[in-house]
Structure 1
Amino acid sequence: MDLNFGEIVLWELMGTAALILLGCGVVANVVLKKSLGFAGGWLLITIGWGFAVFVGASIANPTGAHINPAVTLGLAAADKLEWDKVPAYLVGQFVGAFLGAVLAWAAYKLQFDTHDEPENTRGIFSTGPTVPNYAWNLVTEIIGTFVLVFWILTSPTMTNEGGVPQFGNSALGYAAVAFVVIGIGASLGGPTGYAINPARDLGPRIAYAILPIKNKGGADWNYSWVPVVGPIVGAVLAGLLSQILPS
């Protein structure tokens, strides 16, 4: 399916917005004390994010379901996506991520208003390291994103009638991507919260900075470049490596 600039932006925006709405939503459910999911733990968060990827990717199917600038850049680096289409994907992804975060806040507004630790709510929206060390935090994000993008580029695929690749085991479709994301979160997410997606972190971080959450903490802009640069580096490395491997 040959989509124009606006169509790519729209589908990626809707898919990414769904991803972030559900992803930030599951974190809010676990963190905010007057929520039924309060204290649900890391496993609930990783499963929630995995299924958020499934929903977002399914919505963005017409574009190939990138919903992640790292995936877009990895495909371009692997020569599987024309570079002139990259800007449309990025616009949709970053705008969608911001809107999804705003919707997640709206869904939990009453819980935000009554939470007794509002200064500790940034983690609902964006990632952060458990042990701050920007160099090693960067390495963690590079490794996690490399796993995701390299799997996408090398896993078995099927192609629909419009020629759009459907990533992952053909019997599982986008559910396969969800399982990979859950696996990355469970295995590699502990040190930094596994952004593995620049839009997933930056869009909600901007939303957190401007949303009217009383007595909230700072957005931690000093760290904000790590979950953007790390995934980009990991994705490009995966794309370049996939080109030199024997088919």
Structure 2
Amino acid sequence: MGVDIAVIDYGMGNLRSVSKALEHVAPAASVRVTADADIILNAGRVVFPGVGAMGDCMHELRQRGLVEVVRQAAASKPFLGICLGMQMLFEHSEEGDVAGLGILPGRVLRFPDGAMHDSAGNRLKVPHMGWNEVHQAVPHPMWGGIADGARFYFVHSYYVEAGNPDLVSAFTLYPFPFTSAVAASNIFAVQFHPEKSQAAGLALLGNFVTWNGNIAADQCDTFNINCSL
């Protein structure tokens, strides 16, 4: 029997929390936390979670022979990146001055520690930790049933600067707008943790297990991607 949803296990990330949340929203689905390339590539959908540093993540992916596996999965089926799993999709990170997977154009930058203040003048801490509003930039099937401005849970010191603004599916203020979700073809990725975000997070995961991986034709043209799965 095939696996419906593969959660990529490279030794980093809230794997158990993510898999349990997926099992909750899709009780009839087969969810597997795995580092097995065959299982990942033959799964119906793939989730790429992660916490920690990008350099450590790339090292672990190489050690497990998963770098090309992640790239192939991201090119061929509904694919969800979470937190570090979103940042890893891009070309480069300031965190350790390391290259990412280069699947999407852009870079990962650190919040300017000590230089950010809210509207009342209070200093904002790094990491950005806790609940914050996610403002949807464009319609997408993954936002189905989720209110614009819904609150999700964040824990991160770095944020994505997308190389193409058409990638941005949502943004969040801290205090300036940063990219909190991206979408391109069959890929959707978020900076927040849906598995820790209660009803809104479960709604997003529920959308993922039914999403067929298609997006608007204009994004397909922008990135010269075959959007037919």
Q: Return the TM-score normalized by structure 2.
A: 0.28
Higher relative contact order (CA 8 A, sep 6+): 1
Q: Which has the larger radius of gyration?
A: 1
Between structures 1 and 2, the one with greater strand share: 2
Q: Return the TM-score normalized by structure 1.
A: 0.27
Between structures 1 and 2, the one with greater helix share: 1
